[in-house]
Structure 1
Amino acid sequence: TNTTTALATTGLQLHSILNYKNNILSQSLNANCNVFGVKKVCAQLSLRYDSDNNDDELSVNNDQSAFKLVGAYQVHPNFYIGGLIDQSDQKMPSNYHDTRNDPSLGLFASYSGQYDGRDYAVKLSAAYNNENYNITRDVLTNTEAGTGSSSIASEGVQLEITSALSKYQGIHLTGVAKLNYKNSNRKGYVESNAVDFPITYGAVEHNAVTSELNLYGEMQLDTQWLAGGYIGIEHDLSNKISSYSATGSYINSVSLTPQVLKTTRYQAGAFSIYALQTNQHIKLSLSYRDAPFLSEGLTSTAIQFVTAF
């Protein structure tokens, strides 16, 4: 029984890591750089801090910092392509220790135009991340501190359509619709022979196809300051995660069902942009988004510098 309890804790902590992975994919898929100069190049540097609203042993515990580099090239006045590197450093749940923390990589392409007198943009993006972990089982009465190594690979693609809407009392409104696919896969592994009764763990895979709607509002405060915000809803068209399974001596087979899967999630944010000069600005932002598992939510604060060449 104690072994099963220890396995349950490790499994729930994995769900918190999957929340973190989902957030990293969203940050990468939503990356953009669309201010261009005479050389048709856009460059962006951002620093971000993500915090988890749960502060217990199951969660990532309020400590995820990252920096992101984004670049884009304007191939045509209506079309540009770009890429990104997002390097994060997070405090892990107690049973997980990252041994290789590779940056997330992403690519995107965007086409803009006008339809029926309204500006629109269509953007396609993709992102990938892989990290290695040492995973330790809790030590309870009559149990061992079994340790093994595994990796979690995450990937996603997203189609995003943006359209200018009506202006309301000086506020420029924009509608954004997104459709994305995200996958995270923790490989199966076997605990080391340092314990008398090592446990074998099956792979855990999470697949989700998600639709998302956002409404943005922006207002020009003066010649240099712009303020804005958004609200949004995200709904899973499909969401599948395999059970957390393990086998070993004296425990037969354990299969644990994922906890608290939230299929409809809400998000909101606010931002302010200060223009330093033509085609160069600083952006401050604060955002919140619900996470899929464990009733968690993630708050992100960021500062971003964008310049054109």
Structure 2
Amino acid sequence: MAVTDRARTVSQEQQQSDSGRGKRGAAGVGVLLALLATVVWSGSFVATRGMAGSVPPVQAVFWRWIIAALAVAPLAARQAWQQRALIRRHLGYISLATLFGVTLYNTLVHQAGLTTSASNMGMIMAASPVIMALYARLGGERLGIRRTSGMLLAAFGVLFLVGDGSLGFDFTAGDLWMFGAALSFATYSALLKRKPAEIGGLAFLFTTFVLGALMLAPAYAVSLHLQGGFEATAGTVGPLLYVGVFSSAVAFFAWNKAISLIGAARAGVVYYLQPVCVAGLGLLLLGERTGPAELLSMALILGGVGLASVTRR
């Protein structure tokens, strides 16, 4: 009997150990997926800024979601059709998530691109993790001292970066549009925690892309009437393909999966890396200088992300 009890105890301890390793592995995958989405979205700010003078914002966002829906359709359309009853049942929730994450967020980003720089867009969007953490706290999630400290450290780095080495600010209209985009994206990320588990990730993504294009269709028609269309050139089609395929299909799938694995608050901490990514792309693609203030800010952001993302063994 003693031998049997001992064997049972060893088996339970092994199962607990395997479960712990599995959770740490899932957390690691979630962080990597959040990082992938963050890097890809950083490039979208450069692409959005590049289209600002040639493609009206509403038209750019409308075609973004048409391209995104076509990109995921070969993988997702069949699953969406098979789950059409579930989608109809939860259409209210899906429509709300679409409104904040697809329609409003991206329209505000493209509108901001008219009057602010790509670097400012990336830096201001880094405010959204603070809102994500507040949503998580209101939902009963305990953030812990380590994660809160890391979040505050990264937030200070973002503020220092926006202020160009100080805590003073001089916001443009585009900067204010980006704050609205940050609020919309954080709301979308919080809503993802309530996604019905029975709806497949690809089916959900495809449905939000289609709904987002439908929501924008009236505004698109008005824009065509008042502003006319845009010329299809390498300078317009290339950025649209990037934001449609990579920034929409790939990045949104990675972000949604990351939140299902590690939660919106922790994924939001990884999102703080976006100013660093945008600065790096600005240096590589635009030749923008990175001075001592920017380097210090990046060090604070990276340190805060590392502190808040580490998991306790």
Normalized against structure 2, the TM-score is what? 0.27
Higher relative contact order (CA 8 A, sep 6+): 2
More helix by share: 2
More strand by share: 1
